[in-house]
Amino acid sequence: MKKDLHPKVYTTKVRCACGYEFESKSTVGEELGVEICSHCHPFFTGEQRFVDSAGRIDRFRKKYAGLQK
């Protein structure tokens, strides 16, 4: 087997914007920040809310506000 073929795997501490933290394995580094996780994502929580970090929903509504069926 060739030397230095595989990337280094770290035990990574992942921190979500909601405050939840957990440990995982990753090649990224020892710490990783994410915007959304399984504790705050609507699919896993069952709550109906929009995940809109860049204002996409507002731009969509503004763009198509004048259209009617």
The pTM (predicted TM-score) of the whole model is: 0.55
User: Residue 65: what pLDDT?
Assistant: 83
Residue 37 labeled ligand binder: yes
Interior/surface letters 37-59, b for 16+ CB within 10 angstroms, e for the rest = beebeeeeeeeeeeeeeeeeeee
User: Residue 39: what pLDDT?
Assistant: 84
End-to-end CA distance of the chain: 64
Domain limits, the chain: 1-47
DSSP H helices in the chain:
42-45, 56-63
Q: What's the pLDDT tens digit per position in 29-68? A: 899 998 888 888 777 777 766 665 667 777 888 888 877 6
Residue 40 labeled ligand binder: yes
Question: Looking at the domain 1-47, which fold is it?
Answer: Rhinovirus 14, subunit 4 (4.10.80)
Residue 18 labeled ligand binder: yes
